[in-house]
Amino acid sequence: MRGEEKAYAAAGVDLAAAARIKGRIADLARSTYGPRVLAGVGPFGGLFDLEGLEGRVLVASADGVGTKTKIALALGKVEGLGFDLVNHCINDILALGAEPLFFLDYIAAEKLSEDLIPKIISGIAEACREAGCALLGGETAEMPGIYLPGQLDLVGFIVGVVERERIIDGSRIEEGDLILGLPSSGLHTNGYSLVRKIFGEERRELERYYPELGGALGEELLRPHRLYLKILKPALHLVKGLAHITGGGIPGNLRRILPEGLAARIEKSSWEIPPIFKLIRERGKVSEEEMFEVFNMGIGMIAVCSPKDLAEFKKLVPEALLIGEVIKAQEPKVILC
Amino acid sequence: MRGEEKAYAAAGVDLAAAARIKGRIADLARSTYGPRVLAGVGPFGGLFDLEGLEGRVLVASADGVGTKTKIALALGKVEGLGFDLVNHCINDILALGAEPLFFLDYIAAEKLSEDLIPKIISGIAEACREAGCALLGGETAEMPGIYLPGQLDLVGFIVGVVERERIIDGSRIEEGDLILGLPSSGLHTNGYSLVRKIFGEERRELERYYPELGGALGEELLRPHRLYLKILKPALHLVKGLAHITGGGIPGNLRRILPEGLAARIEKSSWEIPPIFKLIRERGKVSEEEMFEVFNMGIGMIAVCSPKDLAEFKKLVPEALLIGEVIKAQEPKVILC
């Protein structure tokens, strides 16, 4: 069909290029399959075996990586985006105590790049393999007239599983419980529109060296979203609540798991805020309050546990930092002190 | 927080507006919940009970509605897009014999409209209720610098279930089997970039009356993607293969379910091609071959069954049209005669 003038290609949709990309994606996806992915997956959906998962509960979530894609595209470094996407989604269902089963992706752009899309999917497949999760399917779409030229969106959909009696939902949190923070690896996938507003998104700016970062700005901004699955898995039985610190920051996300009548008191001085957040705050003249609402400020996941379990939790998760405690309050809220 | 000058809002992301939209979405989603959606759904994921689904197989798929959104936005009629999205996804997993369990959506735009987003989600929730499927979660994202102003993308993720011995994968298709077509309701969700290239996307053009359509062009283009779940469900036990006719048309999709050594011979004269496709072909000077590769041409779903089951199938699905048969061939292909 190549070489022939096609009306659809002229309208900005190249079905032959899409088919070639899909072939490469299929190979990458196959590398993530475990025994639960049934052989002979049909063309219209992926098949996942439930055998042995009787009585469990499925946990599902959808999320994107926001405008971090713009930084990655500006620097031509898209491989990490797959880790951002998969790890963000897995952390979301981990917050309910679930382990991932399978993942589906959606990538759309004004024009599908035969160079970029396989690189991104390769990162997605690698992140899936590392987490023991099957890349069961996905969709790539060419959408002229919707996306800005050269831009793309990256969306993930995850399904995991948890035993019913092990669902973590924060309901058992009580006064006096301790709040532990796990360090983030950087901005993860939130606040990029604000960062771009402050620093711009030109390659020259992103490649600028900052002594306080010990490297280039773009390098710092592209650190992949950290996965907390393996680090928290051995200690999930000690955890009463988990908050994945994404959009809304510590106040917005921790508040969501607090029962009525309780608040979280967070000691900001209990961990060192990484230099990137100080740099953003200074350059953007952003208030500290808003910094905490937009960025994770160095804490990517929060766990709540009983004081009696603290020693055991710290033994299982040595890098956990005690950053606050649960107190009585009129309404669920997060107090930053 | 409203009234205060916020850096993040100035960067194009309004967290307060996003929170209001999310509140309305939660109410709409709740209207779709059945007993399997566990009470107290956590903030980081939806919980779906597997009780009683022992030994089943999950079927998952991801898809979007393409650039049909542009026509809907140009005419200010977005309610049908939810049906497009949900029905497209359900038809995809139906092609494997599966029934839907739950659905998640993703909506992203340069700017989230507090007017449009709830209208779209309302359509998604209504379509989910009609299909007996829970709207278990989703994500709305404001993405300045990625989407063109005023545009949005709409993505759906579906998970369904099928008994292992009832998976429909085309593997039992043999020479002499019959090919039955089910009428589409219009373009469904494919070929819109080509249509926009031909007719433009201005309101004036979309509101133009065409005698052959018996109505306005835009009205015809916005007919929601038809759902084949209820109509095919009683006859699934008679079906050896199902092809959902989406991007790639009858040749691209039917070919995917044919076993080695078999081809599908389709008699184009066995159904009447709806006027909209004739209009597109004439105005766009598109070859008939390409029309069949881009559009469904009036057939939205194809079922393959044994000749001995034809009478029973036609009794259960009276609107099914006999449009072809399975023949021997060197390689799987679709021959349009």
Task: In whole angstroms, give the CA distance from residue A3 to residue B308.
Answer: 44
Task: Please state the ipTM of this predicted complex.
Answer: 0.91
Is residue B287 predicted with pLDDT exceeding 90? yes
Contact between B125 and A78 (Cβ < 8 Å): no
Please choose, from the candidates A62, A100, A105, A98, the residue with its C-alpha nearest in 3D space to the C-alpha of residue A82: A105
Mutant choice from A157, A228, A301 vs B, greatest count of B C-beta within 10 A:
A157
Residues of A with Cβ-Cβ distance to B201 under 8 angstroms: 145
Closest-CA distance, B2 to chain A, in angstroms, reads 13
Residue range A231-250: average pLDDT? 96
Per the listing, tokens 């894609």 go with: A69
Query: Both tokens of residue A178?
Result: 């301790």
The pLDDT of residue B231 is 97
Task: Return the sign of the alpha-carbon dihedral for residues B229, B235, B241, B243.
Answer: negative
The pLDDT of residue B4 is 40
Query: Both tokens of residue B142?
Result: 């404001």
What lies within 8 Å, CB to CB, of B259 at 6+ separation is: B170, B171, B173, B174, B332
| H/E segment holding residue A229 | helix A229-232
Residue range A8-22: average pLDDT? 75
Residues of B with Cβ-Cβ distance to A49 under 8 angstroms: 57-58, 164
Is residue B111 predicted with pLDDT exceeding 90? no
Lowest mean pLDDT among A72-81, B10-19, B101-110, B243-252: B10-19
The pLDDT of residue B283 is 95
Q: What is the average pLDDT value for chain B, to the nearest integer? A: 92
pLDDT bin (cut points 50, 70, 90) of residue B49 is confident
- DSSP line for A268-312: GGGSPPPHHHHHHHHHHT--HHHHHHHS-TTEEEEEEE-GGGHHH
- Backbone angles phi and psi of B58, in degrees to 5: -85, 145
Number of alpha carbons in the 13 Å side-chain half-sphere of residue B302: 35
Contact between A263 and A118 (Cβ < 8 Å): no
Does B145 contact A at CB distance below 8 Å?
Answer: yes
Task: In whole angstroms, give the CA distance from residue B325 to residue B53.
Answer: 36
What lies within 8 Å, CB to CB, of A300 at 6+ separation is: A91, A182, A183, A184, A185, A188, A225, A226, A228, A244, A245
The pLDDT of residue B39 is 61
Task: Return the sign of the alpha-carbon dihedral for residues A284, A287, A292, A294.
Answer: negative
Closest-CA distance, B316 to chain A, in angstroms, reads 24
What lies within 8 Å, CB to CB, of A115 at 6+ separation is: none
pLDDT bin (cut points 50, 70, 90) of residue B38 is confident
B211: three-class secondary structure by DSSP: coil
Considering only residues 292 to 321 of chain B, which have any Cβ-Cβ distance to chain A shorter than 8 Å?
Answer: 293-294
Task: In whole angstroms, give the CA distance from residue A41 to residue B281.
Answer: 35
pLDDT digits (tens, 9 = 90+) for A111-124: 888 889 999 999 99
The answer to whether the Cβ–Cβ distance between A12 and B171 falls below 8 Å is no
Residue B276 has a CB neighbour count (10 Å cut-off) of: 21
The pLDDT of residue A132 is 94
Please choose, from the candidates B73, B86, B334, the residue with its C-alpha nearest in 3D space to the C-alpha of residue B189: B86
pLDDT bin (cut points 50, 70, 90) of residue B256 is very high
Is residue A4 predicted with pLDDT exceeding 50? no
Please choose, from the candidates B161, B73, B178, B80, the residue with its C-alpha nearest in 3D space to the C-alpha of residue B126: B80
Task: In whole angstroms, give the CA distance from residue A205 to residue A218.
Answer: 8
Task: Return the sign of the alpha-carbon dihedral for residues B96, B99, B104, B109.
Answer: positive
| H/E segment holding residue A50 | none
- DSSP line for B89-113: HHHHHHTTT-EEEEEEEEEEESS--
Considering only residues 259 to 298 of chain B, which have any Cβ-Cβ distance to chain A shorter than 8 Å?
Answer: 284-287, 290, 293-294
Closest-CA distance, B209 to chain A, in angstroms, reads 24
Closest-CA distance, B257 to chain A, in angstroms, reads 8
Give bridge partners of residue A327 from the DSSP assignment.
A263
pLDDT digits (tens, 9 = 90+) for B161-214: 999 899 999 999 999 999 999 999 999 999 998 999 999 989 999 999 999 999
Does A160 contact B at CB distance below 8 Å?
Answer: yes
Contact between A137 and A99 (Cβ < 8 Å): no
pLDDT bin (cut points 50, 70, 90) of residue B40 is low
- Which tops the pLDDT comparison, B53 or B328? B328
Please choose, from the candidates B162, B171, B54, the residue with its C-alpha nearest in 3D space to the C-alpha of residue B98: B162
Q: What is the identity of the amino acid at A330?
A: Q
The pLDDT of residue A30 is 86
DSSP annotation of A259 = P
Chain B, nearest residue to A153 by Cα: B146
Chain A, nearest residue to B108 by Cα: A153
> Rounded to whole angstroms, what are the CA distances from A308 to A177, A242, A301, A312?
9, 18, 21, 8
- Where does residue B291 rank: exposed (0-12), middle (13-18), buried (19+ CB within 10 A)? buried
Please choose, from the candidates A332, A269, A318, the residue with its C-alpha nearest in 3D space to the C-alpha of residue A298: A269
Task: In whole angstroms, give the CA distance from residue B322 to residue A240.
Answer: 59
- Backbone angles phi and psi of B66, in degrees to 5: 65, -155
Contact between B178 and B305 (Cβ < 8 Å): yes
Closest CB to A148: pick one of B67, B146, B160. B146
Mutant choice from A44, A105, A154 vs B, greatest count of B C-beta within 10 A:
A44
pLDDT digits (tens, 9 = 90+) for A45-69: 888 888 888 778 999 999 999 899 9
Query: Both tokens of residue B219?
Result: 């009205």
Does A54 contact B at CB distance below 8 Å?
Answer: yes
Residues of B with Cβ-Cβ distance to A196 under 8 angstroms: 11, 145
The answer to whether the Cβ–Cβ distance between B46 and A63 falls below 8 Å is no
- Which tops the pLDDT comparison, B7 or A82? A82
